[in-house]
Amino acid sequence: MSAPQTGECLDIVRSLALFLRDQRDAVEIVSAAVRSIDDRLPRSVVRIWLSRSTKHCSNCTQPAACETSFHCLQLEASAGETTALQDPMSNMAFGQGLPGIVGKNEHDHFCHELRGSGYETELSWCKEHNLTTFCGFPLFSAGRLLGVLGIYGETLPSEEARRNLSCSALLLSQALGSAFLRNEQERLSNQLEHKVNQRTAQLQSRVSDLEDTRRAMLNMMAEAFEAQRQMRQLTEKLEIMVEERTKELRAAKDEAVRANELKSQFLGRVSHEFRTPMHGMISFAKLGIRRIDRLDRDKTLFYFQQILESAGELLPLIDDLLDISKIESGKVDYHFEYLDLRALLFDIVGKYEPLFAERQLEIKITVSNDFPKRIRFDRKHMRQVFVNILGNAGKFGEPGTDVSVDLSCTKNDVVVRVADHGPGIPPTELSMIFDTFSQSTVTRGSFEGAGLGLAIACAIIESHDGLISVHNREEGGAEFLICLPWNENEARETLMLESQPIQQPVED
């Protein structure tokens, strides 16, 4: 048997959309749905199980699951090679069989070969009807699992066909949700009508004379006034909720617009950052190729040095792009160790001394006496954080001023402060300086960069369960504050283990 074609499954979506538009009864909806799907999927079994809302059935095999919002599945409609509603596959417990797994995991499930599903009854039933594949789609409406659409067959539909079947499941979910909502509304309406009738009968039985009638009228008026009062309260509450929601939507819209602007600015900056060094590399390469037969060694070396410098300008940008991609996808690998943070900072400062000297900056490092010798962090990524922050301080600091690095600790945190005397950060941009692609308007255009460094640094610190923040100093410049957690007892145990000598085996 060949796999169902995309056109056939697309017909299912169209026919379901036309049919379900005017349907109101849940039983008619599921019956029509399985017939519509089965007409276009020959030699298959199409079934719909609906979620049962009762608890603790007599044959319940999952009593603990009955305490949750989802209990079990009951077969409601079947079409295809077998249409029986009473067979071993009519009721599926929570997490039992492939339909139960679809309901439990709450997402589409496709099985190319029905083996090892963990439910022997299902395997026997499929083998009896020569069924080898399964497609399952959960039916959701308003965050509630209504049931499961299952299709057993001999061949798994194509990927496009499965997407169309998923669309059919969505249409079916919406129709079922509407039907259940109408049934619930009718039930509540009947219940309310019944209570009103009961109340009316009680009032009529009690109204035997004028006094009783008067009392009843007064009671009804009091109830009406109370209802009006409650209605006013609900109306006011609704107005407040609408206003708050409107503000949230406006804020979300503004954030989306800002994100789009940042993306456009980032693409412009990145294209420029890529184009300039790439153009230099291509130009010197072409020039070397054209003159290779008459170039001396010094000229050839000059061309290669220019190509190398251009490649060096590209590499940090590419590294930042790769890092932010890994961070956003959650694929960053951290190797945490107990290491000396002071030694790491001194090493970084030593490598940045030429930059500070060139800009006539003096760097001052202060370490408190109680600063721990070792804390737990990832050397590579923590180095990346402080290289970025100290590099910014070196680039933006005013010549002739100093950059201060202060290391201290509290009971549960180590604190590193890096302060400069640069232009600072506009107050309106402080809250977004750690956002991806964000650059201060004060320094934008004066220095190279794509606005990724601080976003990467913030993500690394947060992965260490730490905190990074920035504020402007009254005397000018900006100060970055980095807090990292540390456990004195745990660090002490690690040092003791490392200091213990390794015992050599004693020879006989």
Strands (DSSP E) contained in 266-412 are 336-339, 362-367, 375-378, 402-409
Q: Residues 144, 147, 148, CA angle at the centre, nearest 5°? A: 125
pLDDT value at residue 82: 65
pLDDT value at residue 16: 58
Pick from 140-154, 229-243, 249-263: least confident:
249-263
The topology under which CATH files domain 6-183 is Beta-Lactamase (3.30.450)
Among the listed residues 204, 74, 98, 201, the one whose alpha carbon sits nearest the alpha carbon of residue 152? 98
pLDDT value at residue 2: 47
- Segment 14-29 shows an average pLDDT of 64
d(CA 457, CA 177): 46
- Segment 41-67 shows an average pLDDT of 68
135 pLDDT exceeds 80?
yes
d(CA 464, CA 293): 56
Of the CA atoms within 13 Å of residue 303, those in its CB half-sphere come to 16
Higher pLDDT, 460 or 439: 460
Q: What are phi and psi of 112, to 5 degrees?
A: -75, -30
108 pLDDT exceeds 60?
yes
Among the listed residues 53, 67, 90, the one whose alpha carbon sits nearest the alpha carbon of residue 187? 53
Residue extents of the structural domains in the chain: 6-183, 226-330, 336-493
- Segment 43-58 shows an average pLDDT of 74
317 pLDDT exceeds 60?
yes
pLDDT value at residue 483: 93
Higher pLDDT, 463 or 17: 463
- Segment 135-153 shows an average pLDDT of 87
pLDDT value at residue 84: 62
CA distances to 102, 343, 394, 496 from 493, in Å: 48, 21, 38, 5
For the domain made up of 336-493, the CATH class stated in words is: alpha beta
178 pLDDT exceeds 70?
yes
The topology under which CATH files domain 226-330 is Helix Hairpins (1.10.287)
**405 near 365, Cβ under 8 Å?**
yes
- Segment 302-318 shows an average pLDDT of 68
pLDDT digits (tens, 9 = 90+) for 455-501: 888 888 888 899 999 988 888 888 999 999 987 666 565 555 444 44
pLDDT digits (tens, 9 = 90+) for 237-254: 989 999 999 898 888 888
- pTM, two decimals, is 0.41
**375 near 495, Cβ under 8 Å?**
no
d(CA 360, CA 362): 7
Pick from 64-68, 227-231, 374-378, 428-432: least confident:
64-68
- Segment 129-154 shows an average pLDDT of 87
126 - beta bridge partners? Answer: none
Pick from 18-27, 28-37, 130-139, 148-157: least confident:
18-27
pLDDT value at residue 507: 42
pLDDT value at residue 30: 83
407 pLDDT exceeds 90?
yes
418 pLDDT exceeds 80?
yes
- Segment 424-431 shows an average pLDDT of 80
pLDDT value at residue 504: 40
d(CA 377, CA 484): 9
pLDDT band at 132; cut points 50, 70, 90: confident
Six token digits for residue 428: 């309106």
Within 10 Å of residue 467's Cβ, how many Cβ atoms?
15
Of the CA atoms within 13 Å of residue 238, those in its CB half-sphere come to 6
- Tell me, what DSSP letter sits at residue 473? -
pLDDT value at residue 207: 63
Q: Quick one: 166 exposed, middle or buried, by C-beta within 10 A (0-12, 13-18, 19+)?
A: middle
pLDDT band at 406; cut points 50, 70, 90: very high
CA distances to 276, 315, 332, 491 from 322, in Å: 20, 11, 10, 33
Q: What are phi and psi of 328, to 5 degrees?
A: -70, -25
Pick from 58-72, 242-256, 266-280, 390-404: least confident:
58-72
Q: What are phi and psi of 151, to 5 degrees?
A: -130, 110
- Segment 279-306 shows an average pLDDT of 70
pLDDT digits (tens, 9 = 90+) for 59-105: 555 555 555 544 678 888 888 766 665 666 777 777 778 888 888 88
Pick from 23-27, 234-238, 268-272, 486-490: least confident:
268-272
pLDDT value at residue 501: 45
Six token digits for residue 328: 């956003």
192 pLDDT exceeds 80?
yes
pLDDT digits (tens, 9 = 90+) for 336-370: 899 999 999 998 888 878 878 888 888 889 999 88
d(CA 19, CA 29): 9
366 - beta bridge partners? Answer: 406
